[in-house]
Chains A and B, each alone.
Chain A
Amino acid sequence: DTEVTQTPKHLVMGMTNKKSLKCEQHMGHRAMYWYKQKAKKPPELMFVYSYEKLSINESVPSRFSPECPNSSLLNLHLHALQPEDSALYLCASSQDWEGSYNEQFFGPGTRLTVL
């Protein structure tokens, strides 16, 4: 199984809502990532988890809260988002984070629209 799955595929939420994005992989990877991607732009790294611990937070606003319940799951909790947070949110995983070869496997993404 070389797949990273993400749910939901699409999400529309108001600025006062609380929602969560979910990501799952069963490749035994120890590093998991959240990226934000705006249209026609490259993915921007948000968070890196390594061995279930948060290793990198790229100065992401606190309205985004990541969680790694176990080595296969990664969540992104959303609260009080702004319309400019509308984007494609991509999850990825890799064997480990600090190794020299760091092939990242990407999920299909969640298309988020904030009204």
Chain B
Amino acid sequence: GEDVEQSLFLSVREGDSSVINCTYTDSSSTYLYWYKQEPGAGLQLLTYIFSNMDMKQDQRLTVLLNKKDKHLSLRIADTQTGDSAIYFCAESSWGKFQFGAGTQVVVTP
């Protein structure tokens, strides 16, 4: 099975908070990343977290890491229509990236 798992779809109303979840299996992962991909575009790094941190906040984005459960989440506050995209979590451990399948976030007015 996949080393990084995500739920595939999330629908959220404009102005609400979105929470995207991710689980990973490689306990040696040192960094975990969240990338955003809009239709027809490449991947844009949103944020990352080092494995010895529990939380990282960057403006509307909050990343939570539960290293014991190997669970990563991304919270987007005050979700806007421009946040509609596919969000990939990824882990890296001295080399290759392992991406999750991606969560499609649809923001409705």
A binds B: yes
Q: Which residues of A contact B (CB under 8 A)?
A: 4, 6, 40-43, 45, 48, 56, 90, 92, 97-109, 111
Interface 0/1 of B14-52, CB less than 8 Å to A: 000000000000000011010100001111110010100
* CB nearest neighbor in B for A90: B42
| Size class of the B contact interface (CB-based, 8 Å) | 20 to 34
Q: What is the minimal beta-carbon distance from B64 to any residue of chain A, in angstroms?
A: 20
Query: Residue among B41, B42, B44, B50 with the most chain A CB within 10 A?
Result: B42
Q: How far is the CA of A68 from the CA of B41 in the complex (A)?
A: 23
Q: How far is the CA of A92 from the CA of B42 in the complex (A)?
A: 9
**B102 near A45 (CB under 8 angstroms)?**
no
Q: What is the minimal beta-carbon distance from B63 to any residue of chain A, in angstroms?
A: 14
**4 more CB-based (< 8 A) A-B contacts, given A106-B35, A107-B42, A109-B40:** A4-B42, A40-B86, A98-B94, A106-B42
Residues in chain A near residue B96, CB distance under 8 A: 45, 48, 56
Residues in chain B near residue A105, CB distance under 8 A: 45
